[in-house]
Amino acid sequence: MQAIFTDRAPPFSTRSYKAAEEAERKARKDAEKAKAMEIIEKASKQPKIMTQAEYAQWVERYNNIMNEGGEGYVPEMVTVEQLEWARKVLSDS
């Protein structure tokens, strides 16, 4: 019976589990901060920041004019809601 358990890896300790969990949480938070910085930088280069509803209308018009209503390139723009989220993320840190 003992031979069955000898080939198992030792159990994951609570300390190493918590350390791994904390490292993952920190990595997630760092990635979130990086995304927020990217959004703010991109927004600073835009002539106008639109709301999500305005952006949806703009995308439809742009697509109809530039892509003749078909599939094609439509520039991504930062919306007011994304900018608010980015500012909140950076102010919380």
pLDDT digits (tens, 9 = 90+) for 5-28: 555 555 566 778 788 889 999 999
Question: In degrees rounded to 5, what are phi and psi of residue 86?
Answer: -60, -45
CB atoms within 10 A of CB 39: 20
What is the reported pLDDT for 8? Answer: 59
Domain segments of the chain as ranges: 13-92
What is the reported pLDDT for 92? Answer: 87
The mean pLDDT of 34-58, rounded to a whole number, is 97
The 3 state secondary structure assigned to 29-89 is HHHHHHHHHHHHHHHHCCCCCECHHHHHHHHHHHHHHHCCCCCCCCCCCCEHHHHHHHHHH
The mean pLDDT of 39-54, rounded to a whole number, is 96
